[in-house]
Amino acid sequence: MAFETEGDLVDELKNRFAHLDLDFFRVKELEDYLKLMEAELELVQDKILAKSHERILLTEKISTSEKSYGVLKSDFDSFSENLEKLEAEVSGLSGQLLQLEIVHTIKTSPEALDNLQDRPSTVKLSRSLKEKIRERKKKAAAASKDGV
């Protein structure tokens, strides 16, 4: 390509450099955009890393909580079982205490225990009382015969 004048050559060079300037500007613009995208990507990666760390911590807390719950439940079950045993023992002891109170009441009553044992097992009735009882029995027997 031959240029007729020096001006033609300068014009052609200006056109080509203008095009290069435009391409250089576009490349610079793309480089800036790429740097911006890289910075945003780094922020997103940092957030992902932070969330991942939080997730690990939460997983550990949940695991610890589950273990603590298991231990507490086991302790509570053991406590409940021991409480039931104590309740049964207290109930038995209450019965024994009641028996002791009865014995104490008998021993400390105005009527001594010796007197209770010395009492006769049968009671002697007077003749008149015996006769009244016999008469009532006869009347009751006669009434039952008449009613039949």
Q: What are the structural domain ranges in the chain?
A: 6-119
Each residue's pLDDT tens digit, 16-52: 776 666 667 777 888 999 999 999 999 999 999 999 9
pLDDT per position as a tens digit, 41-99 = 999 999 999 999 999 999 999 999 999 999 999 999 999 999 999 999 998 889 898 88
Q: How many residues are there in the chain?
A: 148
pLDDT 10s digits, 126-142: 888 888 888 999 998 88
Separation of alpha carbons 117 and 102, rounded Å:
17
Which DSSP string corresponds to 61-113?
Answer: HHHHHHHHHHHHHHHHHHHHHHHHHHHHHHHHHHHHHHHHHHHHHHHHSSS-H
> What's residue 33's pLDDT?
92
Kindly state the tokens that stand for 114.
Answer: 């010796």
Asked if 106 and 113 touch (Cβ cutoff 8 Å), the reply is yes
Counts for the chain of helices (H) and strands (E), in that order: 3, 0
Tell me the pTM: 0.41
